[in-house]
């Protein structure tokens, strides 16, 4: 199968989806209203609530939801063949992921910019809200610990990336100050910053850097500590200082990187050498349901609802920007995930070479194999347009690390919001402040990371895939309850919600059986608690729905969202 034909078909599908389905959702389901005052304006504080131009906010939102997810997941899932992974990414992103992200952004904007977990109190009940927030805290704890490890490992694998990734930070701060104080047009200076980044990549190749193992003689643990300190600082700064300008630069890096990689694809026109379907790879779990758990970002990911209702909504300038940011960003992430599928199936010279890389499940799911397949295959694509493979390898690796770092500090900021909300509930108001809440977020991730010399997050990582997708299903449950209360058609969120909750529950049940057989009682206990939590939340929602029906025999009473002067 020619990779170019696949790419053209996907582009066409996404253009149609944005043109027609997104417009239908905007008008008929979510009733976008440009005259409504957004939380960014209503609660403007110059730190978290900051009205932001659509292009800059798109950069933040996309780079936060992308991270390493749309690269790692598809790079593993092609072990079952390129066709199942491609179908799930394309149709999942159009009808599930983009609806999920868009819906979470809308519902949060209509509820004072509160997180999707906090909103559950008003739509389902206080008990459900506390359970959901605890669920989110657990998921983000794993994200912080593991992403710090992942970035550290990537720095060790590709030392030429250390210099460009860290030098980007002062450049981004300078851009942020320029935009904020002088109200200048950010496009030209951002493009100049991107040019500097490519220059830094060349310097990185000339001067690759290794971090001395200062912390307990362990380089991984040292990187974890450095990255968590960075995440603390980045997440307490006003969003305009670092988060917005860095993500704006990274959005241009995204478009430049995607453009060059797809250009290489169209010039080289490589054939897909991997099998279309490989139903029983050695050592792999069943394709159904684990395909839908392995590929999260790129199709649908619960983490995205945390970004939509955590940082993005607090920077939303106008509701008219919601479709492009909420729905459009997910489609572009789908474009990235499709590129990963093509790189990992057409970036090999032969079926034999691909089979060696994907010899069995344990080989394919290793971090080096996952990232290596994309980095090395991407360098091959870039070589088709004359970019030396050494420089191309550095470009792709910096691309991956930059997005992963964005996810790390965005997740830290969101975890701070979650801790503050829980602290308010428990009457611990001092803990709800910015610095104490961020300290708890970072220290909890650090203590988890300390286990196994910086790799402690991997202890709970086998649960993350199902936890993340369960969170996506529960976020869709919250959006669905909002539609119930506002008398809107339900099926556009109800069906994706049911699909994700069922697939995630099947995957978690399968994992629990495996944990029991392996006598892994820690994961067995935690996993069982998470599954019970899902059932509890669904039962709570069903109870509320029935109560609403009983109160109004002629239908659900209108639900008045926040309207304040």
375 band by pLDDT with thresholds 50, 70 and 90: confident
Residues 6+ apart with CB under 8 A from 383: 264, 389, 392
180 band by pLDDT with thresholds 50, 70 and 90: confident
Average pLDDT taken over every residue of the chain: 89
- Please determine, for residue 117, whether its predicted confidence score (pLDDT) is greater than 90: no
Strand pairing partners for 2? 271
- Please determine, for residue 563, whether its predicted confidence score (pLDDT) is greater than 50: no
Query: What's the average model confidence in pLDDT over 238-243?
Result: 91
Strand pairing partners for 507? none
Lowest mean pLDDT among 18-22, 116-120, 541-545: 541-545
Quick one: which of 85, 147, 134, 116 has its CA closest to 407?
147
List Cβ<8 Å contacts ≥24 apart for 31-37.
Answer: 31/488, 32/106, 32/319, 32/320, 32/322, 32/323, 33/319, 34/318, 34/319, 34/320, 36/109, 36/319
What percent of the chain clears pLDDT 90, i.e. is strictly above it? 56
Q: Environment class of residue 365 by beta-carbon count within 10 Å: exposed (0-12), middle (13-18) or buried (19+)?
A: middle
217 band by pLDDT with thresholds 50, 70 and 90: confident
What percent of the chain clears pLDDT 70, i.e. is strictly above it? 94
Query: What's the average model confidence in pLDDT over 402-406?
Result: 86
Q: Are 63 and 254 in contact (CB under 8 A)?
A: yes
pLDDT, tens digit, 9 for 90 and up, residues 196-213: 999 999 999 999 999 888
Residues 6+ apart with CB under 8 A from 492: 25, 29, 99
Please state whether 36 falls in left (phi above 0), alpha (psi between -120 and 50) or beta: beta
Query: What's the average model confidence in pLDDT over 364-372?
Result: 61
DSSP for 439-453 reads HHHHHHHHHHHHTTT
Query: What's the average model confidence in pLDDT over 136-165?
Result: 90
Give me the pLDDT at residue 365, please.
Answer: 60
pTM above 0.85, yes or no: yes
Q: Helices then strands (H, E): number in the chain? A: 25, 0
Lowest mean pLDDT among 256-265, 280-289, 556-565: 556-565
- Please determine, for residue 385, whether its predicted confidence score (pLDDT) is greater than 80: yes
Q: Are 466 and 503 in contact (CB under 8 A)?
A: no
Residue with tokens 């779990």: 285
Three-state SS at 124:
coil
Q: How far apart are the first and last CA of the chain?
A: 59
pLDDT, tens digit, 9 for 90 and up, residues 418-450: 999 889 878 888 899 999 999 999 999 999 888
Q: Are 105 and 113 in contact (CB under 8 A)?
A: no
Give me the pLDDT at residue 553, please.
Answer: 47
Give me the pLDDT at residue 206, please.
Answer: 94
pLDDT, greater one: 149 or 173: 173
Quick one: which of 54, 49, 65, 42 has its CA closest to 308?
65
Token pair listed for 103: 């819906």
pLDDT, tens digit, 9 for 90 and up, residues 266-312: 998 889 999 999 988 988 899 999 999 999 989 999 999 999 999 99
Lowest mean pLDDT among 147-151, 265-269, 326-330, 360-364: 360-364
What CATH number matches the domain at 3-551, 3.40.50.450, 3.90.1170.50, 1.20.1740.10, 1.20.200.10? 1.20.1740.10
Lowest mean pLDDT among 121-130, 493-502, 523-532: 121-130
Residues 6+ apart with CB under 8 A from 429: 423
Report phi then psi at 390, rounded to 5. -65, -45
Quick one: which of 4, 69, 85, 88 has its CA closest to 371?
69
Residues 6+ apart with CB under 8 A from 368: 157
Question: Within 93-161, where are the H helices?
Answer: 98-109, 116-123, 126-157
Give me the pLDDT at residue 364, please.
Answer: 65
Q: How far is CA 521 from CA 283, 468, 500, 514, 516, in A?
A: 22, 21, 26, 11, 7
DSSP for 245-302 reads HHHHHHHHHHHHHHHHHHHHHHHH--B--S-S--S--TTPPPHHHHHHHH--TTT--H
- Please determine, for residue 315, whether its predicted confidence score (pLDDT) is greater than 50: yes
- Please determine, for residue 63, whether its predicted confidence score (pLDDT) is greater than 90: no
Maximal C-alpha separation, the chain: 73
Strand pairing partners for 316? 52
Q: Give dist(CA 82, CA 274) in Å, integer.
A: 7
Q: Give dist(CA 527, CA 518) in Å, integer.
A: 14
Three-state SS at 416:
helix
pLDDT, tens digit, 9 for 90 and up, residues 462-494: 888 898 999 999 899 999 999 988 889 989 999
Strand pairing partners for 271? 2
Q: Are 66 and 250 in contact (CB under 8 A)?
A: no
Query: What's the average model confidence in pLDDT over 129-156?
Result: 87
Give me the pLDDT at residue 283, please.
Answer: 87
Q: Are 230 and 165 in contact (CB under 8 A)?
A: no
Q: Give dist(CA 246, CA 30) in Å, integer.
A: 31
Quick one: which of 429, 514, 468 has its CA closest to 307?
468
């Amino acid at each position: 199968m020619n990779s170019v034909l696949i790419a053209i078909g996907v582009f066409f599908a996404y253009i149609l989806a944005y043109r027609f389905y997104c417009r239908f959702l905007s008008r008929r389901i979510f009733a976008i209203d440009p005259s409504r005052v957004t939380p960014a304006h209503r609660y403007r504080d110059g730190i978290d609530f900051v009205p932001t131009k659509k292009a800059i906010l798109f950069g933040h939102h996309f780079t936060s939801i992308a991270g390493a997810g749309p690269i790692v997941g598809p790079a593993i899932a092609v072990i079952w063949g390129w066709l199942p992974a491609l179908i799930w990414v394309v149709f999942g992103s159009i009808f599930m992921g983009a609806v999920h992200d868009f819906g979470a952004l809308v519902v949060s904007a209509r509820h004072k910019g509160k997180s999707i977990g906090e909103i559950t109190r008003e739509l389902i009940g206080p008990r459900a809200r506390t359970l959901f927030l605890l669920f989110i805290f657990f998921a983000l704890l794993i994200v912080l610990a593991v992403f710090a490890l992942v970035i550290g490992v990537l720095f060790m694998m590709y030392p030429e990336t250390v210099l460009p990734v860290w030098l980007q930070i002062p450049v981004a701060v300078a851009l942020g100050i320029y935009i904020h104080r002088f109200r200048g047009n950010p496009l030209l200076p951002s493009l100049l910053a991107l040019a500097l980044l490519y220059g830094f990549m060349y310097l990185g190749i000339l001067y690759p850097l290794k971090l001395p193992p200062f912390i307990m003689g362990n380089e991984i643990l040292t990187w974890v500590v450095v990255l968590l300190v960075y995440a603390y600082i980045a997440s307490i700064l006003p969003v305009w200082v670092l988060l917005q300008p860095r993500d704006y630069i990274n959005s241009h890096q995204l478009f430049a990187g995607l453009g060059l990689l797809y250009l290489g694809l169209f010039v080289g026109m490589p054939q897909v050498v991997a099998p279309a379907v490989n139903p029983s790879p050695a050592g792999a779990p069943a394709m159904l349901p684990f395909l839908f758990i392995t590929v999260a970002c790129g199709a649908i990911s619960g983490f995205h609802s945390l970004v939509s209702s955590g940082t993005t909504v607090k920077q939303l300038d106008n509701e008219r920007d919601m479709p492009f940011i909420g729905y459009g960003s997910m489609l572009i992430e789908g474009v990235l995930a499709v590129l990963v599928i093509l790189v990992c199936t057409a970036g090999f010279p032969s079926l034999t070479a691909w089979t060696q890389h994907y010899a069995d499940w344990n080989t394919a799911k290793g971090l080096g194999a996952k990232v290596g397949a994309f980095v090395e295959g991407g360098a091959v694509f870039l070589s088709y347009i004359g970019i030396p493979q050494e420089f191309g390898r550095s470009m792709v690796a910096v691309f991956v690390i930059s997005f992963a770092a964005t996810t790390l500090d965005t997740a830290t900021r969101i975890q701070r919001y979650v801790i503050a909300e829980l602290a308010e509930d428990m009457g611990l108001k001092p803990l709800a402040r910015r610095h104490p809440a961020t300290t708890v977020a970072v220290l909890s991730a650090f203590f988890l990371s300390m286990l196994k010399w910086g790799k402690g997050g991997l202890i709970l990582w086998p649960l993350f895939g199902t936890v993340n997708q369960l969170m996506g299903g529960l976020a869709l449950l919250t959006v669905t309850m909002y539609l119930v209360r506002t008398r809107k058609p339900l099926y556009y969120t109800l069906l994706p919600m049911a699909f994700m909750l069922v697939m995630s529950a099947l995957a978690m049940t399968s994992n629990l059986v495996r944990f029991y057989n392996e006598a892994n009682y820690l994961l067995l206990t935690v996993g069982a608690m998470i599954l019970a939590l899902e059932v509890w939340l669904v039962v709570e929602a069903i109870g509320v729905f029935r109560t609403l029906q009983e109160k109004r025999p002629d239908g659900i009473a209108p639900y008045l969202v926040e309207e304040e002067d």
